[in-house]
Chain A
Amino acid sequence: MSLKRRAFLQMAAAASLAAPLVRSAAAAGDAATIAWPNDVPSWDPNQRFTPDAQPIFKAVYDQPLDQDPQLKLVAHLIKNWTLAPDATSMAVELRDDVTFHNGDKMTAEDFRYTFLERIRSGVKLDTANSWKRVADIVVESPIRATMKFSAPDPTAPQWMAFLGSYIVPKQYIESGGLDNFLKKPIGTGPYKLAEYELNSRIVLERNDRYWGPKAKVARVTIEIIKDPSARVAAIQSGQADFTLNVPVREVQRFQSEGGFAAELNPITRVILLQVRADLNFADQNVRLAAHHAIDKAALSMAFYGGAAVPLSVVATPGSPGYLSDFTFKFDPQLAKQLLAKSGHGPDNPVKIGLAATNGQFPSDYDMARAIVQMWQKVGIAADLQVIEYAKYFELNRASKLPEATLYSWDNATGDPEIFSGYLLNPKMPFSAWKDEAVGGRVLKLFNIADYNARIAGYRDVERFAVEQGASIPLLQSVLTVVRKRNLQYTRYGNGWVLPQTLQWS
């Protein structure tokens, strides 16, 4: 390649000047840039349960079932499904018009491979845990199969639309190898992965042969910008068209500026205090006092501009397990009375530990500090310690968590099993509460196949847990979104921002 210096400089200058023009033209219709906070952990969608990555996976891969924006379970790759009355099997009928990005047809063999064969092959997958009750998948035809469970699995349909449950191409992975799949991943989703730069950007190009509604924006670039302030700067400067998870104060600022739409969307994520049943929280009076002393509305106002809904149970408004007729009062006087019964008060405070992450979710550490101050007023002296989110499980396993831990919990399905069923299940690593009175009730619900009976059971448990002081729900979390006013998207109750729903107006 030979190039004269003058020609080179001229071309470089022209290209340099043209860059912003290219960008404006793209932004005008067929392309969009999203400033996204995290990279995907891997392009194997079954491998890691990372909630933040799910919307990206949902662009490239499809799930057997899906959720509509109100989180109702809807058909997707599976057209019809029938869960047996005892929840020990589930028959599914797949669509017959679905192809992977390489043109291969998606069949029941891919379904079996994803939910059984891959897991048994020893590949390290998080789905091995969610689908551990799958004893077999009998393929009856290219579009029909039946899942057989070793124990009742009443939430199998919900899990078909939840973390990690994406159908992957059997033939492509087996013939080309896993490494090739990770380098050149293909799915059946509305976008193809056109380019991937680790920790930098993901370029998606519309899959024009998609079986469902075609994406409106042909090319979506996801720029990985981890720093919230940098994401704000990116959208403000026009280098991104859409961003999320920015500080609440920035959303409020953008709301007063033209050209942008800024939103605080309540989602199916709860902020709560995970509590222990022992140490100085062995005393129920102390636990209930700790709950009554927290002014959740003040926390919402201070850290979420009042948009985060105060919660009395571990479920979000609109989700099946939510109790709209139950309120746990903010009552510092009652808190003092409860503490007095146990011989404590502002002059003789009960000492507890409070663990919190710093930066895992917006304002987590500041919120913990505010709670410490609220407790101090009624006679609870809390020693605040910072932990890494990943350390929570290790400390919990070793029974080294303090009395309370400020915790954030995502549940894209909204199903109460994945709220209280997990958070109060003494056999799971998420629950700090290891007591049979509550835990036993939760475990029984895992085997109830009837949907209505199961939901009613969870509603009872949620109320019981709060009344026992086994659970201290605080707030429904919010997702912050800032976008160009003419870039529309579909808002999901669980906070998904799906590239395939973007549309310029």
Chain B
Amino acid sequence: MLVIVAKLVARRLLAAVPILLVVSALLFTVLRLLPVDPAAMSLPTTATIAEIEAKRREMGLDRPLPEQYVIWLSDALHGNFGRSIQFDREAGSLVAASLPATIELAGAAMALAAIFGLGGGLLLFHLRGTLFEAIADFLSILLLSIPEFLWGLILLFVFGVALHALPFTGVVSPSLPQPHVTGFLLLDALLVGRLDVFASACRHLILPALALGLAFSPAIMRVLRSSLFDVYHEDYIQQARLRGLSERQILLGHALKNAALPTLTLAGVQFGILFSGTLLVEVIYSYPGMGNLMVDAVRNADLPLIQAIGLTYCVAVLVINTVVDSLYVVLNPKLRAG
């Protein structure tokens, strides 16, 4: 099985190269076509036209677009994504500093989405044919229609402002230090043995992760229920019943495993979308991740930073898809055989 997964990952990595090239070229072209002058933006407002022209030459902006792209690509391959106009720091280092927070948030949100999705899906399936089925169905559609930023605002108001139950700004309490080892705050807090920091970071993570998790769980819920419906029409379910297995054993031992495959595919797609969905939630909760950085970059027309963040999102989605596909192979014997 490891060989199959390794082959799959290798194939994905090969496919990722042209995808990244196309995405980077698109990003580069679109950003260069915007009516923004990166040279003027990176100089003081009092800069003269001659100074701006000199800066333009220094940045290579006077060269043809394809040539500019090749220069950028060559630098990017050496880990140099250019200098942020707004922060006057390496764009790559800014992304690297913000990425762990977004990964932690997206990971926690996905875990919550999976828990709510699986739990909700099983509940919906369990209620089939009962009086509560229509109500549950209605509620799941209602949940599906609430986007993540609305959840963000609702949760912030209820648990933050009205109940004062949970913090909703930043990543850790102002009275506590923020340790730096790997960049992942939860992990770092444990590594330096600061459980108070760990607990505070968890408390700060709850609301933004919940906002994202709640927004993405209804889709998982509904696909799981549909898959279970399909699976229950298969012969082996009838045979299991004839063998005298309880409904619980059939559901958990046979049906759920098979129904999980399409759900996993959806979850993979959802995780990619969820990763991008962190943008608004991070802004609402002042969470110092890539989304927050992206909003800043867009607001300040910080082209090198927008490009670096855009590419990072693309890489993240490719990685997520590869992981999901690998899991699919692990869970699906048919694919392993094929």
A residues in contact (CB < 8 Å) with B: 1, 8, 11-13, 15-16, 18-19, 22-23, 26, 31, 33, 35, 39, 41-42, 47-49, 124, 126, 128-129, 182, 195, 197-201, 203, 219, 221, 223-227, 230, 233-234, 236-240, 388, 390-391, 393-394, 397, 428-430
- Determine whether the beta carbon of B169 is less than 8 Å from that of A23: no
Ordered by A's residue number, 17 sampled pairs between the chains whose C-beta atoms are within 8 Å are A41-B87, A41-B88, A49-B45, A195-B178, A198-B97, A201-B178, A203-B174, A225-B286, A230-B169, A233-B157, A237-B168, A239-B160, A391-B35, A391-B301, A393-B45, A397-B52, A429-B45
CB-defined contacts of B239 to chain A, threshold 8 Å: none
- Determine whether the beta carbon of B88 is less than 8 Å from that of A397: no
- Determine whether the beta carbon of B174 is less than 8 Å from that of A390: no
Number of residue pairs across A and B with beta carbons under 8 Å? Answer: 148
CB-defined contacts of A16 to chain B, threshold 8 Å: 199-200, 202-203
Report the bound CA distance from A225 to B160 in whole Å: 15
Q: Which of B86, B178, B301 contacts A41 (CB 8 A)?
A: B86
Closest CB of chain B to A243's CB: distance in Å? 11
Report the bound CA distance from A429 to B283 in whole Å: 32
A198 (CB) vs chain B CBs: closest residue: B97
Known: A16-B203, A237-B161. 6 other contacts (CB 8 A): A19-B203, A39-B296, A42-B89, A198-B87, A230-B284, A234-B168
Report the bound CA distance from A238 to B173 in whole Å: 12
Query: Which secondary structure characterizes the binding site on chain A?
Result: mixed
Q: Which of A26, A49, A233 contacts B160 (CB 8 A)?
A: A233
- Determine whether the beta carbon of B49 is less than 8 Å from that of A200: no
The answer to whether residues A238 and B164 also contact, given A41-B87, A200-B286, A226-B283 and a CB cut-off of 8 A, is yes
- Determine whether the beta carbon of B174 is less than 8 Å from that of A201: yes
- Determine whether the beta carbon of A230 is less than 8 Å from that of B202: no
Quick check: which of B36-44, B210-218, B260-268 contacts chain A, the rest being far away? Answer: B36-44
B residues in contact (CB < 8 Å) with A: 35-37, 40-41, 44-47, 49, 52, 86-89, 94, 97-98, 156-157, 160-161, 164, 167-171, 173-178, 191, 193, 195-196, 198-200, 202-203, 283-286, 288, 292-293, 295-296, 299-301
- Determine whether the beta carbon of A47 is less than 8 Å from that of B169: no
The answer to whether residues A129 and B44 also contact, given A13-B199, A233-B160, A394-B37 and a CB cut-off of 8 A, is yes
B157 (CB) vs chain A CBs: closest residue: A233
**A-B CB proximity, top 3 nearest:** A200-B288, A221-B174, A15-B199
B296 (CB) vs chain A CBs: closest residue: A199
B300 (CB) vs chain A CBs: closest residue: A390
- Determine whether the beta carbon of A429 is less than 8 Å from that of B46: yes
B195 (CB) vs chain A CBs: closest residue: A11
CB-defined contacts of B191 to chain A, threshold 8 Å: 1
Closest CB of chain B to A52's CB: distance in Å? 13
Report the bound CA distance from A19 to B195 in whole Å: 11
Which one of B157, B193, B198, B286 has the highest number of Cβ atoms from chain A below 10 Å of its Cβ?
A: B286
The answer to whether residues A223 and B203 also contact, given A230-B156, A393-B40 and a CB cut-off of 8 A, is no
B97 (CB) vs chain A CBs: closest residue: A198
CB-defined contacts of B195 to chain A, threshold 8 Å: 8, 11-12, 15
A25 (CB) vs chain B CBs: closest residue: B175
Q: Which of B37, B174, B293 contacts A199 (CB 8 A)?
A: B293
- Determine whether the beta carbon of A428 is less than 8 Å from that of B198: no
CB-defined contacts of A124 to chain B, threshold 8 Å: 88
Closest CB of chain B to A54's CB: distance in Å? 16
Q: Which of A129, A182, A201 contacts B46 (CB 8 A)?
A: A129
CB-defined contacts of A224 to chain B, threshold 8 Å: 286, 288
A393 (CB) vs chain B CBs: closest residue: B45
CB-defined contacts of B299 to chain A, threshold 8 Å: 388
Closest CB of chain B to A353's CB: distance in Å? 16
B292 (CB) vs chain A CBs: closest residue: A199
- Determine whether the beta carbon of B156 is less than 8 Å from that of A391: no
Q: Which of B44, B88, B177, B288 contacts A42 (CB 8 A)?
A: B88
Closest CB of chain B to A17's CB: distance in Å? 9
Q: Which of A13, A234, A393 contacts B169 (CB 8 A)?
A: A234
- Determine whether the beta carbon of B288 is less than 8 Å from that of A199: yes
Closest CB of chain B to A230's CB: distance in Å? 6
A200 (CB) vs chain B CBs: closest residue: B288
Report the bound CA distance from A394 to B52 in whole Å: 10
- Determine whether the beta carbon of A23 is less than 8 Å from that of B173: yes
Report the bound CA distance from A430 to B46 in whole Å: 8
The answer to whether residues A23 and B174 also contact, given A15-B195, A15-B199, A198-B98 and a CB cut-off of 8 A, is yes
- Determine whether the beta carbon of A240 is less than 8 Å from that of B169: yes
Which one of A26, A237, A388 has the highest number of Cβ atoms from chain B below 10 Å of its Cβ?
A: A237
Report the bound CA distance from A26 to B167 in whole Å: 16
Q: Which of B44, B175, B196 contacts A26 (CB 8 A)?
A: B175
Report the bound CA distance from A397 to B286 in whole Å: 36
A1 (CB) vs chain B CBs: closest residue: B193
CB-defined contacts of B293 to chain A, threshold 8 Å: 198-199
- Determine whether the beta carbon of A239 is less than 8 Å from that of B169: yes
The answer to whether residues A19 and B286 also contact, given A195-B177, A394-B37 and a CB cut-off of 8 A, is no
CB-defined contacts of A233 to chain B, threshold 8 Å: 156-157, 160-161, 168
CB-defined contacts of A394 to chain B, threshold 8 Å: 36-37, 40-41
Report the bound CA distance from A460 to B156 in whole Å: 53
- Determine whether the beta carbon of B175 is less than 8 Å from that of A237: no
Closest CB of chain B to A383's CB: distance in Å? 17
CB-defined contacts of A39 to chain B, threshold 8 Å: 296
Closest CB of chain B to A333's CB: distance in Å? 39
CB-defined contacts of B292 to chain A, threshold 8 Å: 199, 226
Report the bound CA distance from A318 to B156 in whole Å: 42
Report the bound CA distance from A199 to B299 in whole Å: 14
- Determine whether the beta carbon of A239 is less than 8 Å from that of B45: no
Closest CB of chain A to B235's CB: distance in Å? 44
- Determine whether the beta carbon of B286 is less than 8 Å from that of A237: no
Which one of A124, A203, A239, A388 has the highest number of Cβ atoms from chain B below 10 Å of its Cβ?
A: A239
The answer to whether residues A236 and B196 also contact, given A41-B86, A201-B170, A393-B45 and a CB cut-off of 8 A, is no
CB-defined contacts of B168 to chain A, threshold 8 Å: 230, 233-234, 237, 239
Closest CB of chain B to A36's CB: distance in Å? 10
- Determine whether the beta carbon of B45 is less than 8 Å from that of A430: yes
Which one of A1, A15, A33, A221 has the highest number of Cβ atoms from chain B below 10 Å of its Cβ?
A: A15
Closest CB of chain B to A401's CB: distance in Å? 13
Closest CB of chain B to A199's CB: distance in Å? 5
- Determine whether the beta carbon of A239 is less than 8 Å from that of B87: no
Report the bound CA distance from A238 to B167 in whole Å: 9
Report the bound CA distance from A236 to B300 in whole Å: 29
Report the bound CA distance from A13 to B292 in whole Å: 30
Report the bound CA distance from A31 to B173 in whole Å: 12
A16 (CB) vs chain B CBs: closest residue: B199
CB-defined contacts of B203 to chain A, threshold 8 Å: 16, 19
The answer to whether residues A15 and B200 also contact, given A223-B286, A230-B284, A239-B160 and a CB cut-off of 8 A, is yes
